Amino acid sequence: MITAERKPFDEIYGLTEGHDKVLVAGCDTCVAVCLTGGEKEAEILAAELRIKAKEDGRDVQIEHTAAIRQCEWEYLDAIAAKVEEYPVVLSMACGIGIQSMAEKFAPKLVLPAVNTNMLGMPQEHAVWLERCGACGDCVIGETAGICPVVRCSKSLMNGPCGGSHDGKCEVTTPEKEDIDCAWALIWERLLAQGREELMLVNRPPKNWSKSSSGGPRKMVREEAKPV
Amino acid sequence: MTATEYKAGSNLEKILSEGKFAVTGECGPPKSADGTVIEEKAKILKGYVDAVNITDNQTAVVRVCSMASGVQAQQNGLEAIMQMTCRDRNRLAMQADILGASVLGIKNILCLTGDHMSFGNHPEAKGVHDLDAINLIKMYKDMRDEAKFQCGDDMPVAPQLYIGCAENPFGDPFEFRALRLKKKVEAGADFMQTQCIFNIPKFKKWMEEVRAIGLHKEVKILAGITPIKGAGMAKYMKNFVPGMDVPQEIVDRIAAQEKGAPQQAEGKKLAVEMIKELAEVEGVAGVHLMAVEWEPAVPEIVEAAGLLPRPAVA
Amino acid sequence: MADEPTAAAAAAAEADSKPATAALPANEGFEPEIIVFACHYCAYAAADLAGSMRLQYPSNIRMIKLPCTGKLEVIHLLKALEAGADGVYAAGCLEGECHYLKGNLWAKKRVGYVKKLLEEIGVDPGRVEMYNMSSAMGPQFAETAREFTARIRGLGPNPVRPREGFTAHEVVLKQMGDLAMPDDAGSDPTPGS
């Protein structure tokens, strides 16, 4: 699923400067599941902003709302009337939802209150790990179900590199936590599957033209288009 | 071997082909537009090594590019081994650069993955990683042997290259390390250099596995040695450098001496001992001496290890 | 039902007096099983009419009545082939005259998509088809049935044909479940009308 993290409060508060009416819009799909931007979180953020504004002696009306899903226009109809009343919307949806709102309500100011960060999987409750790079050319069938594009810090097709140590990547996270070496994991699982010969295949260079490197992508389902 | 049988005819290639024990060194280019640094280093190392690695933005810290410094080194009579990492360039740049290097007379190229940006002074940069080291080796091999670009297009004049790679006998997963070298050899590596060795027993075990699959006959293996300048350096490498295996005995041995010249002398002594021991290991074709920012130590070490004079080849 | 055939029916009957096997192509002896998904309002009625006009059409045809061809999903067509039918077609109202407005257009789209899928898997896309007719077009129903059967005869047995004899129809009927209407002419699918 798509995960996002709320921007630092100061940054969000800065976005309200110069406005006397602000709407915080949550989304009840992905960002609600990762506990960042659902209706609950939107309500909380609106309250925080109101309190801070009061502290600063600013007279600003800050409300919240939420759409079931911000990325599909049909679902925005339900909140359209409310959105129309506000000159600026702080959206807590993922980047797709924010852009969808910005397009539907253009030229209204729709600003991001979150940083969309990854296609992630909850490893345990409240912990998400990056899993998919949306590269458009999936190879994980050959790498024991582990993505080398985004779980290897160097996107190696023929890993591991010399920095792999104790099953960990040479890179640590900004929080100084270890990252599992994807290729060490791939090796382990291929052994468990009895398919270690796949580690010896010299994989050719990846075709990056299918990823966003080749330009923004579009997908059409002709057979599903309305008649 | 006649000239036409060599892949590139570099000094390094000829020495290794003749079965002579090779010595390579390493030079870090300067972190500025200072053209004198390489000249100075070349003066120190000339005659003591058969070729010298010119690093490529090592540890993701920006320096003069490997090609320019490599050309400078060769202008000063020291054969260069250019380095190319996958971190900073895509396949277009890598092919363009090797053609440029070849045109300017560089013949040895070491293909590396590259340390991650987060280690260096520009951690916000976008890592390229269009290819990995194995793709890179194969791409250069095909340019040389098939006169083809990676996309399949022909080129009228192929670059003459002696292709190298690096391998870390102490990286994980350990059981896979010899197999990873096999992949690089299959991709086209002619010679390889290991990361610096301190744990000789573990290195010997790795060489056993390498010999078991006959790799020592297909690729020229140079064992990496880094002389330790002091106990602080030993501790740092042990604890903070990825993929390094420094046994505690070595740290203790250096620390047992007084700081400064005594520790340095012990470091050089240790390096000489290790070179002599490694030279006896079957399959080791030479030594790669990485005296990081300590180039003046090289002549002394090479001489004490009995490796002078360096062979002169036609 | 008229006691005497109309002029049109007479002409059709004459045409039909030619032996049904006159233009037998290759694969003589192979009798394909053809499943026809026909809509209640038009195609099924046309089939009924063909029957009452005594127009011959091959017994290879096995009918399944649907309220509208718009009810037909891609999976139904694929499963029919998987069950062993050698050919399958949807027969709906003329375009623009669908009782449910656009159902036949959806069917056409889906048949087109299935043809694409069949190409991908190496099965001749000619094994599925979409036809349109009005309830008055008894002769056309029969002609279509003959043409399609001849086509399938020419293509040979379904490559995944798991059976001998005609058993796919029963399997498909079961798969359609509630979607398939009972096989009696004249009943209105709309409850309460």
Contact of B150 with chain A, judged by CB distance below 8 Å, is answered with yes
Give yes or no for residue C12 having a pLDDT over 60.
no
Q: Which candidate, B175, B280, B285, B172, places its Cα nearest to that of B224?
A: B285
Looking at every residue in chain C, the average pLDDT score rounds to 83
Give a yes or no: residue C185 inside a domain. Answer: no
CA–CA distance, A64 with A41 (Å, rounded to integer): 10
Residues B218-238 have pLDDT tens digits of: 999 999 999 999 999 999 888
For residue B131, give how far its alpha carbon lies from the nearest alpha carbon of chain A (Å): 6
CA–CA distance, A178 with B307 (Å, rounded to integer): 43
Residues of B in contact with A181 (CB under 8 A): 172
Mean pLDDT of B123-150: 97
One digit per residue, the tens of pLDDT, for chain A of length 227 reads 999 999 999 999 999 999 999 999 999 999 999 999 999 999 999 999 999 998 899 999 999 999 999 999 999 999 999 999 999 999 999 999 999 999 999 999 999 999 999 999 999 998 999 999 999 999 999 999 999 999 999 999 998 998 888 899 999 877 778 899 999 999 999 999 999 999 999 999 999 999 999 999 999 998 889 88
In this prediction the ipTM stands at: 0.91
Cβ neighbours of residue A24 closer than 8 Å, sequence gap 6 or more: A42, A43, A45, A46, A49, A62, A63, A64, A65, A89, A90, A92, A113
Give yes or no for residue C190 having a pLDDT over 50.
no
Lowest mean pLDDT among B91-105, B159-173, C139-153, C177-191: C177-191
- Token pair recorded at residue C134: 């009005």
Give a yes or no: residue C54 inside a domain. Answer: yes
Residues of A in contact with C101 (CB under 8 A): none
Give yes or no for residue C82 having a pLDDT over 80.
yes
CA–CA distance, B181 with B213 (Å, rounded to integer): 10
At what angle are helices A73-84 and A95-104 packed, to 10 degrees? 60
Decide if A154 and B183 are in contact by the 8 Å CB cutoff. Answer: no
Exposed (0-12), middle (13-18) or buried (19+): which is B18, by Cβ within 10 Å?
exposed
Looking at every residue in chain B, the average pLDDT score rounds to 94
Q: Which residue of C has its CA nearest to A221?
A: C113
The amino acid occupying position B181 is L
CA–CA distance, B32 with B40 (Å, rounded to integer): 15
Residues of C in contact with A223 (CB under 8 A): 74, 109-110, 112-113, 116
Exposed (0-12), middle (13-18) or buried (19+): which is B88, by Cβ within 10 Å?
buried
Give the pLDDT score at C164. Answer: 66
Give the pLDDT score at B50. Answer: 97
Residues C105-150 have pLDDT tens digits of: 999 999 999 999 999 888 999 999 999 999 999 999 999 999 999 9
CA–CA distance, A84 with A104 (Å, rounded to integer): 11
Can you give the three-state secondary structure of B94-148, one letter per residue? HHHHHHHHHHCCCCEEEEECCCCHHHCCCCCCCCCCCCCHHHHHHHHHHHHHHCE
Q: What residue ranges define each of the domains in chain A, with the CATH number in brackets?
A: 2-117 (3.40.50), 133-209 (no CATH)
Mean pLDDT of C170-179: 90
Residues of A in contact with B183 (CB under 8 A): 158, 200, 202
Cis omega before residue B201 (within 30°)?
no
Question: Among partner residues A167, A170, A205, which is closest to B116 by beta-carbon distance?
Answer: A170
Decide if A223 and C112 are in contact by the 8 Å CB cutoff. Answer: yes
- Total structural domains within chain B: 1
Q: Which residue of A has its CA nearest to B185?
A: A202
For residue B132, give how far its alpha carbon lies from the nearest alpha carbon of chain A (Å): 5
Give the pLDDT score at A14. Answer: 96
CA–CA distance, A90 with A17 (Å, rounded to integer): 12
Give the pLDDT score at C163. Answer: 59
HSE (CB half, 13 Å, CA atoms) of B148?
10
Mean pLDDT of B80-105: 98
Give a yes or no: residue B312 inside a domain. Answer: no
Interface test with A, best of C113, C114, C117, C132 (most A CBs within 10 A): C113
Residues C32-73 have pLDDT tens digits of: 999 999 999 999 999 999 999 999 999 999 999 999 999 999
Q: What are the residues of chain A with a beta carbon less than 8 Å away from any beta carbon of chain C?
A: 222-223, 227
Residues of C in contact with A227 (CB under 8 A): 102, 105-106, 108-109
Model confidence band, residue C28 (pLDDT cutoffs 50, 70, 90): low
Give yes or no for residue B147 having a pLDDT over 80.
yes
Give yes or no for residue B76 having a pLDDT over 60.
yes
Give the pLDDT score at B174. Answer: 79
Interface test with B, best of A135, A152, A165, A206 (most B CBs within 10 A): A165
Q: Do chains C and B touch (3 or more CB pairs under 8 A)?
A: no
Give a yes or no: residue B248 inside a domain. Answer: yes
Question: Among partner residues A222, A223, A227, which is closest to C105 by beta-carbon distance?
Answer: A227
Interface test with A, best of B88, B91, B92, B135 (most A CBs within 10 A): B135
Give a yes or no: residue B75 inside a domain. Answer: yes
Give the pLDDT score at C2. Answer: 42
Which structural domain, as residue segments, surrounds residue C164? Answer: 30-178
Give the pLDDT score at B103. Answer: 97
The length of chain A in residues reads 227
Question: Are the C-beta atoms of residues A169 and B153 closer than 8 Å to each other?
Answer: no
Give a yes or no: residue C55 inside a domain. Answer: yes
Mean pLDDT of B72-98: 97
Question: Are the C-beta atoms of residues C86 and C37 closer than 8 Å to each other?
Answer: no
Question: Among partner residues A166, A200, A202, which is closest to B172 by beta-carbon distance?
Answer: A166
Would you give the DSSP letter of residue B311? P
Give a yes or no: residue B216 inside a domain. Answer: yes
Domain CATH for B177: 3.20.20.220
Model confidence band, residue C104 (pLDDT cutoffs 50, 70, 90): very high
Question: Among partner residues C102, C105, C109, which is closest to A223 by beta-carbon distance?
Answer: C109
Domain CATH for C35: 3.40.50
Q: Which residue of B has its CA nearest to A209?
A: B130
Would you give the DSSP letter of residue A217? -
Residues of A in contact with B132 (CB under 8 A): 154-159, 161
Torsion sign, CA atoms B54, B58, B63, B64: positive
CA–CA distance, B95 with B138 (Å, rounded to integer): 12
**Which residues, numbered 179 to 218 in chain A, qualify as contacts with chain B under a Cβ-Cβ cut-off of 8 Å?**
181, 184, 187-188, 199-200, 202-206, 208
Model confidence band, residue C187 (pLDDT cutoffs 50, 70, 90): very low
Give the pLDDT score at C182. Answer: 86
Give the pLDDT score at A175. Answer: 77
The length of chain B in residues reads 314
Question: Could you give the C-alpha distances from B217 to A156, B168, B214, in angstroms and in order?
Answer: 27, 19, 6
Give the pLDDT score at B172. Answer: 78
Interface test with A, best of C101, C102, C108, C109 (most A CBs within 10 A): C109
Interface test with A, best of B59, B130, B176 (most A CBs within 10 A): B176
- Total structural domains within chain C: 1
HSE (CB half, 13 Å, CA atoms) of C94?
8
Which structural domain, as residue segments, surrounds residue B163? Answer: 3-304
Give a yes or no: residue B314 inside a domain. Answer: no
Q: Which residue of B has its CA nearest to A169?
A: B242
For residue A220, give how far its alpha carbon lies from the nearest alpha carbon of chain C (Å): 14
Q: Which residue of B has its CA nearest to A173?
A: B118
Distance from the Cα of residue B39 to its chain's centroid: 20
Question: Are the C-beta atoms of residues B76 and B39 closer than 8 Å to each other?
Answer: yes
Lowest mean pLDDT among A130-134, B305-309, C4-8: C4-8
HSE (CB half, 13 Å, CA atoms) of B227?
29
Give the pLDDT score at C18. Answer: 42
Backbone angles phi, psi at A42, to 5 degrees: -65, -40
Q: What are the residues of chain C with a beta carbon less than 8 Å away from any beta carbon of chain A?
A: 74, 102, 105-106, 108-110, 112-113, 116
